Amino acid sequence: MMKKLSILIAFGALSISVNAALADSTDLADRVINGRYQAVLGDCAACHTKQDGQPFAGGEALQTPFGALVPPNITPDKETGIGNWNEADFIRMMKTGTGHDGIRLYPAMPYPAYSKMSDRDLSDMWAYLTTLQPVKNKVVANQLPFPLNIRLSMWGWNLLNFDPQPFVADEKQTAEWNRGAYLVQGPGHCATCHSPKSFLGADKDSQFLQGASLQGWYAPNITADPHIGIGSWSEDEIVTYLKTGSTDKTIASGPMAEAIAQSTSLMKEQDLKAIAVYLKSLSPGSTDKPTALKADDARMVAGAAIYHDTCSACHGQEGKGAMPLFPALAGNSLVQQPSPETLAHVVLAGSQAVYTPSKQTTPAMPSFAWRLNDQQVSDVLTYVRNSWGNAAAPVNASDVSDIRGSAQN
């Protein structure tokens, strides 16, 4: 009898041990799944994966106003990646910008935004990164000129520009609004591209998401501004754009196309809706609309002729477009941004719509750099930005020349 009881006790202990192991395994699996989603929210692959390279093994150079920075290898390779890091190292880096062995990061890695992420989400992201295939790929991340290449300078930058604070929900707002605020301010790091920068490269919080230049492109105003923002967009249109890369109003291009392909198109529908709710609530800055140039202005006359010959076949004589292939230009807030960088970049270099699981057709616009000189590009853009109810500053040929140079590099 005693022997039988001992066997039962031993079996029970084994069962408890096995169940505990299974529970730990299930918990780890859930953490890895959530961590992978956190990497999607953070758009990690877009920066840390080079075109035709191994996932997360290091990315293309980011051309900042201060010089080139290359996103490093974040696979678990011990020699060239983060294989010698631990979870505490990773969370400290994401929260403070201080990496393994005290190395200070530059804010091109958007730790000022990631510092708002919860410890649980960061812990799960770390769990996911440890499951990646280690890739040996040495990356020289810091390619800044002297003295900016001295990382100790970031101590002073952080002192002036960085006050790490966790995200705090606004009790006056809905849970959906707060989720959207968390995603936009934290993992989505939208301000990194869409907020203007100070001369030190810090976000101008007073102009949150009101548009900024980025690597030869212009990240547009995404506040509720009715003229140059998304004030005229419905929540459903914002969700559709983030999920598919296009709406009846526009087709994503440049860095935003990459963000949609690697991040927003893979987000959960409820998270996209939360982002839309939050963005629609943001107060715009100045809503003064400029006065459109008169049709008899010499630049408008020249631009109209070029538009008729070069653009109207796709975008229509009245700028109404033909979606889903050709976006409307009339009443398009992206066309009327303060800077013409994106428009000039697309005209000169061409563009192709992003492939997403929800919209697999990728219409393209050819390059016209071979056909139009700088003055002609500036004239046709001036015409587009001031026709069919649009109103924006005229475009200078010298600005087009600068953008042509950056597009060719």
Contact of 28 with 127, CB cutoff 8 Å: yes
Quick check: is 319 in a domain?
yes
The string of pLDDT tens digits covering residues 151-173 is: 777 788 788 888 888 999 999 99
Quick check: is 369 in a domain?
yes
Q: What is the mean pLDDT of residues 280-284?
A: 92
Contact of 124 with 35, CB cutoff 8 Å: yes
Asked if pLDDT for residue 92 goes beyond 90, the answer is: yes
Q: How far apart are CA 340 and CA 296, in angstroms?
A: 22
Quick check: is 37 in a domain?
no
Best CA proximity match to 111, nearest among 138, 123, 131, 93: 93
Q: What is the mean pLDDT of residues 355-369?
A: 84
Phi-psi region of 211 (alpha: psi -120 to 50; beta: other; left: phi over 0): left
Other beta carbons within 10 angstroms of residue 286's beta carbon come to: 8
- The number of domains in the chain is 3
DSSP E strands, 198-238: 212-214, 217-219
The reply to whether 151 and 180 lie within a common domain is no
The reply to whether 358 and 260 lie within a common domain is no
The string of pLDDT tens digits covering residues 184-236 is: 999 999 999 999 998 888 899 899 999 999 888 899 999 999 899 999 999 99
Quick check: is 32 in a domain?
no
The reply to whether 237 and 209 lie within a common domain is yes
Q: Which helix (H) or strand (E) holds 365?
A: strand 364-365
The reply to whether 346 and 371 lie within a common domain is yes
The reply to whether 351 and 317 lie within a common domain is yes
* Domain final residue pick, 280, 308, 326: 280
* Domain final residue pick, 137, 160, 183: 160
Quick check: is 107 in a domain?
yes
Contact of 62 with 70, CB cutoff 8 Å: yes
The reply to whether 259 and 306 lie within a common domain is no
Q: What single-letter amino acid sits at 402?
A: D
pLDDT at 5: 43
Quick check: is 39 in a domain?
no
Residue identified by tokens 């091109």 is 108
Query: Is the sign of the CA dihedral 95, 97, 98, 99 positive or negative?
Result: positive
> Would you place residue 7 in the very low, low, confident or very high pLDDT band (cuts 50, 70, 90)?
very low
The reply to whether 240 and 309 lie within a common domain is no
Q: What single-letter amino acid sits at 37?
A: Y
Contact of 191 with 114, CB cutoff 8 Å: no
Q: Which helix (H) or strand (E) holds 39?
A: helix 2-41
Average pLDDT, the chain: 88
> Would you place residue 24 in the very low, low, confident or very high pLDDT band (cuts 50, 70, 90)?
low
The reply to whether 270 and 312 lie within a common domain is no
* Domain final residue pick, 101, 134, 160: 160
Best CA proximity match to 188, nearest among 100, 291, 271: 271
Quick check: is 169 in a domain?
no
CA atoms within 13 A on the CB side of 92: 12
Helix (H, G, I), strand (E, B) or coil at 310: helix
pLDDT at 41: 97
The reply to whether 103 and 156 lie within a common domain is yes
Compute CA distances 318 → 102, 105, 257, 298, whole Å.
58, 49, 26, 20
Phi-psi region of 237 (alpha: psi -120 to 50; beta: other; left: phi over 0): alpha
* Least confident stretch, 118-122, 146-150, 268-272, 348-352: 146-150
Residue identified by tokens 């678990």 is 76
The reply to whether 309 and 276 lie within a common domain is no
For residue 73, the 8-state DSSP code is -
Quick check: is 87 in a domain?
yes
Cis peptide upstream of residue 147 (ω within 30 degrees of 0) = yes
Best CA proximity match to 143, nearest among 90, 71, 212: 71
For residue 203, the domain's CATH number is 1.10.760
Q: How far apart are CA 373 and CA 391, in angstroms?
A: 23
The reply to whether 252 and 315 lie within a common domain is no
Instruction: Kindly state the tokens that stand for 88.
Output: 């505490």
Helix (H, G, I), strand (E, B) or coil at 214: strand
Helix (H, G, I), strand (E, B) or coil at 161: helix
Asked if pLDDT for residue 19 goes beyond 70, the answer is: no
The string of pLDDT tens digits covering residues 291-305 is: 999 999 999 999 999
The reply to whether 198 and 244 lie within a common domain is yes
N-term to C-term CA, the chain = 85
Q: How far apart are CA 188 and CA 194, in angstroms?
A: 11
Instruction: Kindly state the tokens that stand for 99.
Output: 């990496």
> Would you place residue 11 in the very low, low, confident or very high pLDDT band (cuts 50, 70, 90)?
very low
Q: Which helix (H) or strand (E) holds 78?
A: none
Please give the residue range of the domain that contains residue 189: 175-280
Asked if pLDDT for residue 379 goes beyond 80, the answer is: yes
The string of pLDDT tens digits covering residues 320-339 is: 988 878 889 999 999 999 99
